[in-house]
Structure 1
Amino acid sequence: MADVKGGRRSYDGSGRQEKARSTRRAIVAAARELLEQSGFTGTSMAAVARRAGVSAESVYKAFGSKAALVKEVFDVTIAGDDEPVPVADRPEVHRIQQEPDARRKMRLYVQGAAERASRSAGIQLVLRNGAEADPAVARLWAQVQDERLAGMTMFARHLAETGCLAAGVDVEYARDVLWTCTAVEVYDLLVHQRGWALTAYADWLDSILSTSLLDPVAGVGSQRP
């Protein structure tokens, strides 16, 4: 029986909140499909609304601008869901941080990077290709690259602090190698253009990064003095 206080039915907003979240998911999914098909300039908010089965007003109300919608598409695609948890705070990242063996640590990192690339390469290429034609896309692409560089720096610093880096490899060098090898352009060349399987790409990435960055004797519990 519904609760009644003061002669009025108490309001439960959970259903409305879930409906709003479902609508938001539908808009993001529709936007991703259209962006990957038609690019940034070829995708209008009205077209997104039609694909999602909502009004254009609903799209603007939810996101405010086309650039904000595209950024949401990117963030959800990278994370794999729309949960309000930053990638750095997710269980898979904690497993990487807590793994004591350098090579298993790198393998876990590479597996995550390959999975994110397989999900997000399409939308990343949309942003990169649209950056020259539209200032809003250029700003968004620059933001995405800044966030990626910050992530590479954090992982490189973690490798240094846990004694995993080879002699002569500093944080800046490790960051730049990670930044280059995990770039969407490399994924595009090997997987999209050369037809590599995702597992082959991950194996290559693991080999390149481990050989280039890791201390060959780093292992369980190893810490550089």
Structure 2
Amino acid sequence: MMRRADRTQANRQRMRAAAQTLFTARGYAATSMQAIADEAGMAVQTLYFTFGTKRALLAELLDVAVAGDDEPVPSLDRPQVQALLDDPDPVAQLREQARQAREIYERVAPVLQVIAHAATADPEIHELWEANNAQRVVMMERMVTALVTKTALREGLDATMATDITLALLGPEVYHLLTARRGWDAERWERWTADALVTQLLPPR
């Protein structure tokens, strides 16, 4: 028999899945909490008790999609990120950054599109979008800091410019453009991004 904690977690996952389905199909503003509850097969009171607000539900959906699980471990403290930062080979670090970014975007890209569209009209969702962007900056700064301990940067670059280039190449806008709009598969995006990071950030070899 499923334990109560496991059942609660499974129900939470069902509600998140229902929310993502409807947010993606209808948009954030057009999706009500009642509609999410109906899609999940739950009472709407359960949805409110679990998440409180629709914005909180979207925020958790984003966090879980980025992390790949619902464990409360910051991205920079996750073993795969620590291994990337600790890898002594700068080329290997950059290629692993592209690989991990591809894995994340395969999960999170639909949620980011929901947030990007909703942010133009909803101040609370705009705040969520900006917070996500700020977290991405912190992550890229940390990766560039690790990179410059292993190698000189390409001539003319400093750490700030290297961070800006990394943000551009690994940004959700470029991923969406090339995969959703231009038809690239995620593996092609990963290969191109890894090559671009190496070319743009490291001295010629």
Residue 166 in 1 paired to residue 150 in 2?
no
Partner residue in 2 for 1:85 = 73
- Per the TM alignment, residue 164 of structure 1 is displaced from its structure 2 partner at its CA by 5.2
Partner residue in 1 for 2:134 = 146
**2:117 aligns with one of 99, 124, 129:** 129
Larger % of helix: which? 2
Q: Distance in 1 between matches of 2:178 and 2:34?
A: 35
**1:189 aligns with one of 169, 177, 191:** 177
Query: CA RMSD for the aligned pairs?
Result: 1.6
- Per the TM alignment, residue 66 of structure 1 is displaced from its structure 2 partner at its CA by 0.9
**2:198 aligns with one of 210, 216, 222:** 210
1:2-13 matches, cutoff 5 A: none
Amino acid at match of 1:158: A
Partner residue in 2 for 1:110 = 98
**2:51 aligns with one of 53, 58, 63:** 63
Runs of 4+ in 1 over 6 A off after TM superposition: none
Partner residue in 2 for 1:95 = 83
Q: Distance in 1 between matches of 2:152 and 2:47?
A: 47
The count of corresponding residues between Structure 1 and Structure 2 is 204
- Per the TM alignment, residue 61 of structure 1 is displaced from its structure 2 partner at its CA by 1.2
SS in 1 for 2:121: coil
- In our comparison, the structure showing a higher alpha carbon Rg is 1
Q: Distance in 1 between matches of 2:190 and 2:152?
A: 20
Amino acid at match of 1:119: R
**1:34 aligns with one of 9, 22, 39:** 22
Amino acid at match of 2:92: R
TM-score, length of structure 1 as denominator length: 0.85
Amino acid at match of 1:144: N
Gaps of 5+ in 1: 1-13, 218-225
8 Å contact kept, 2:89–2:150: no
TM-score, length of structure 2 as denominator length: 0.93
Amino acid at match of 1:203: R
Deviations 1:165-196 (Å, cap 9, x if unpaired)? 33432221111111111121111111111111
Q: Distance in 2 between matches of 1:20 and 1:104?
A: 41
Q: Distance in 2 between matches of 1:216 and 1:45?
A: 54
- Per the TM alignment, residue 18 of structure 1 is displaced from its structure 2 partner at its CA by 1.8
Percent of aligned pairs with the same amino acid: 35
Gaps of 5+ in 2: none
Partner residue in 1 for 2:107 = 119
Deviations 1:109-160 (Å, cap 9, x if unpaired)? 1100111112111111111111111112111111111111111111111112
